[in-house]
């Protein structure tokens, strides 16, 4: 598949859709299987958006392994390559994926699979910044909950991931402070929102009403 940015890779982090192990904060309003179905729906949504955009090669980084039938289905349907997440926590897994992707690509963007607010130009503007403007740049897209849903770079910066506390309202601010401390150039992408709670899911459903 020809892409606009062949030397860039987008890394999509995704857990296997095992009922009771994904989107657990959607329960008890949803059953464990319904929550897993939402997880699959959101993953397919972002992979479909990326595939239609023909922006750059897509890598699906899987946990706990790449063998789940859902991952195999995604690889066949959306022309994505499958990769195994490795590391003791989220930060180590993200850093490993970025380092591995940078061995073959000059620019990488890493995103989650549960952000329905992404638009095609969010990725293109981030890649343009990294490739045309910033030798030591970092792109980050803040999320409404205080975290972030995308981070991109041309070089690996383990300091942004290692020994970081995750899943709280100051993740974005703490990461930005580390970017400042490293004297890197920051490009703040458009604010996004992801789906963690049942209220987030309602927002998603309302936004898709005709």
Give the pLDDT score at 115. 97
Q: Out of 15-19, 28-32, 135-139, 198-202, pick the least confident.
A: 135-139
133 has pLDDT over 90: no
Percent of the chain with pLDDT over 90: 94
Using CA atoms of 43, 45, 48, 53 in order, give the dihedral in degrees to the nearest 10: -110
Question: Would you say 17 and 39 are in contact if contact means Cβ atoms under 8 Å apart?
Answer: yes
Q: What is the mean pLDDT of residues 37-46?
A: 98
1 has pLDDT over 80: no
Q: What is the mean pLDDT of residues 171-199?
A: 96
* Rounded Cα–Cα distance for residues 108 and 155 (Å): 9
178 has pLDDT over 70: yes
Give the pLDDT score at 109. 98
Place of tokens 């319904």: 34
Give the pLDDT score at 210. 65
Give the pLDDT score at 208. 81
29 has pLDDT over 90: yes
Binned at pLDDT 50, 70 and 90, residue 59 comes out as very high
Q: Which CATH architecture has domain 8-203?
A: Alpha-Beta Complex (3.90)
Higher pLDDT, 209 or 191: 191
* Rounded Cα–Cα distance for residues 174 and 74 (Å): 33
For 135-167, what is each residue's pLDDT tens digit? 899 999 999 999 999 999 999 999 999 999 998
Give Dmax (Cα) for the chain: 47
For 60-112, what is each residue's pLDDT tens digit? 999 999 999 999 999 999 989 999 999 999 999 999 999 999 999 999 999 99
Instruction: Please measure the distance between the N-terminal and C-terminal CA atoms of the chain and give it in whole angstroms.
Output: 33
């Amino acid at each position: 598949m020809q892409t606009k940015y062949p030397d860039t890779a987008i890394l999509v982090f995704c857990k296997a859709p095992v009922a009771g192990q994904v989107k657990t904060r959607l329960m008890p309003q949803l059953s464990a299987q319904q929550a897993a179905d939402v997880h699959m729906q959101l993953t397919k949504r972002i992979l479909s958006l990326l595939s239609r955009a023909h922006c750059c090669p897509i890598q699906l980084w899987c946990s706990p392994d790449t063998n789940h039938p859902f991952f195999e289905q995604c690889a066949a349907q959306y022309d994505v390559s499958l990769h195994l997440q490795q590391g003791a926590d989220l930060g180590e897994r993200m850093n490993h994926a970025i380092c591995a992707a940078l061995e073959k690509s000059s620019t990488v963007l890493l995103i989650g699979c549960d952000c329905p607010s992404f638009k095609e130009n969010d990725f293109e503007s981030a890649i343009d910044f990294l490739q045309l403007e910033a030798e030591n740049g970092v792109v980050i897209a803040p999320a409404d909950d205080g975290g972030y849903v995308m981070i991109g770079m041309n070089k690996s910066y383990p300091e942004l991931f290692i020994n970081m506390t995750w899943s709280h309202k100051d993740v974005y601010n703490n990461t930005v402070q580390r970017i400042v401390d490293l004297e890197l150039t920051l490009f703040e992408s458009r604010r996004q929102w992801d789906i963690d709670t049942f209220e987030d899911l309602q927002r998603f459903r309302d936004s898709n009403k005709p």
